[in-house]
Amino acid sequence: MDSTILTILIAGAVSLFAFAIWQIVAPVFDPSKKKLAERLSGKSHSGEAQPAKQAKSVVQSQATGIEARLLEFPIFASLQKTLLQSYPDLSLNRFVQLLVISAVGCSLVFFALSASLLVAVVSFVIGLYLPIAVITNKRNRRQRQLALQLPEALDFLGRILKSGHSFSTGLQMMGSELPVPLAFEFRRAYAQHSLGVSIEDALKEMATRIDSSDFAFFVTATLIQRQTGGDLSEVLGNISGMIRQRSRLQQQVKAKTAEGRFTGYILSAFPAVLFIILYSMNPEYASVLLTSTDGMILLAVSFGLQILGLFTIRKITTVEV
C-alpha cells in the first residue's frame, strides 16, 4: 500500500480517536461547569469547590470490583458522568464491554473482508468511536429535552407548594405527573430520599445528571431556602420566568445567525460537490487527485482546511446566552 495512503489512514484514525476522547473530557475543563459546581454546594473552608467530589463519592459508593478501579482514572470518571446524562441505567462495566465488542467486532469483520492489517487497525478505532458517538448524541438530545421541560416542571412544583404539600411530596408528584425524561430524574431523586438520602444530596446528584445552568439555579435556590427559609414557590416562579425569557432570546439569536451558519454549510459542501460534478464530466482529469501522491496530499490538506473553516464559522455564529 502506498505510504501516503498509509499515513492518511493512520492520521485519520488517530484524529478520530482523539476527537472521541475530547468529547468525553471536554466538560471537565469547561469553566462554566466549575462555576455551576461552586454554586451548587458552595466552597469549602479552603476555598475549593466540592460538588465534583460529591458526585464521585456517590458513584464510587455504588461501584464494586473492576468498575471501582476504573473510576479512579479521570477519563473513566468523566465517561461515567456522560453515561449518567445519557443512559442512567447503563453501568460503566457494561459500556466498556460494549466498547470492546464493537472495536473487536469491527476489526475482525473488516480484516476478513480486506485481509489488511491497516484496515483492521483503522476499523478498530472506528469501532471504539461509534459507541462514544452514540452516547454523546443521546446526552445532547436528552439534555435539550430536560431543558425544554424544566419551566413547566418548576411551575408545577410551585403550585404543589402553594397548595400546602411538602417538598418531598412535590418530588413524588413530579415523578408521576411530568413527562419523561424529567419525570424519571425526579422519581429517582424521590426514591433515593425514601431510602435515607437527604433531599440536599439527592438534588446535588440529580444536578450531575442534568447538566444545565437553569437546573443548577433551581437546586441552589432550593438549598438556600431550606437553610434560611422563605417562599420557595415565588422563587420557582421567578426562575421559570427567567428560563422562558432566556429561551426566547436564544431562539432570536439562533434566527439572527441562521444566515451565517447556512453560508458556512454551503461553503463547506461546495468543494466536494464541485469535485463530484467535475469527476462525472471528466474522470481522467479529476482522478489525478485520487491516483497521484501530490493529489492525495492536496486532498488531505484541503479537507483539513475545510474542517478548520467550518469550525471557525461555527464559533463565530455561536452566541452564548
Percent of the chain predicted with pLDDT > 70: 79
- Alpha carbon separation from 107 to 104, 125, 172 (Å, rounded): 5, 8, 47
Query: Quick one: 233 and 266 in the same domain?
Result: no
Query: Quick one: 212 and 167 in the same domain?
Result: yes
Q: Is residue 84 part of a domain?
A: no
Count up the domains in the chain and report the number.
2
Query: Quick one: 249 and 261 in the same domain?
Result: no
Residue 301 banded pLDDT, cuts 50, 70, 90: confident
Residue 45 banded pLDDT, cuts 50, 70, 90: very low
Query: Quick one: 274 and 289 in the same domain?
Result: yes
Q: Is residue 90 part of a domain?
A: no
Q: Is residue 12 part of a domain?
A: no
Query: Quick one: 163 and 232 in the same domain?
Result: yes
CB atoms within 10 A of CB 207: 24
Domain encompassing residue 263: 257-321
- Cite the DSSP H helix spans in 42-116: 51-62, 66-70, 74-86, 92-114
Query: Quick one: 223 and 199 in the same domain?
Result: yes
Cα dihedral 150, 151, 155, 156 in deg (nearest 10): -30
The pLDDT value given to residue 46: 43
Query: What pTM did the predictor assign?
Result: 0.69
Concatenated DSSP letters for 256-284? HTHHHHHHHHHHHHHHHHHHHHHHHH-HH
d(CA 10, CA 119): 10
Q: Is residue 277 part of a domain?
A: yes
Query: Quick one: 317 and 264 in the same domain?
Result: yes
Q: Any idea what the CATH number is for the domain that residue 224 is in?
A: 1.20.81
And the C-alpha cell for 267? 461553503
Query: Quick one: 149 and 221 in the same domain?
Result: yes
CB atoms within 10 A of CB 306: 16
Q: Looking at the predicted structure, is the pLDDT value of residue 33 above 70? A: no
The pLDDT value given to residue 57: 43
Q: Is residue 36 part of a domain?
A: no
Query: Quick one: 304 and 211 in the same domain?
Result: no
Residue 64 corresponds to which amino acid? T
Q: Is residue 292 part of a domain?
A: yes
pLDDT tens digits, residue range 109-166? 888 887 777 778 878 888 888 888 888 889 889 988 988 899 999 999 999 989 888 8
Mean of the per-residue pLDDT values for the chain? 79
Nearest to 134 by CA among 24, 28, 57: 24
Query: Quick one: 248 and 304 in the same domain?
Result: no
Distance of CA 234 to the CA centre of its chain: 32
Q: Is residue 110 part of a domain?
A: no
Higher pLDDT, 21 or 269: 269
Q: Is residue 238 part of a domain?
A: yes
d(CA 174, CA 146): 13
Percent of the chain predicted with pLDDT > 90: 6
Query: Quick one: 271 and 305 in the same domain?
Result: yes
Query: Quick one: 225 and 304 in the same domain?
Result: no
Mean pLDDT of 204-227: 85
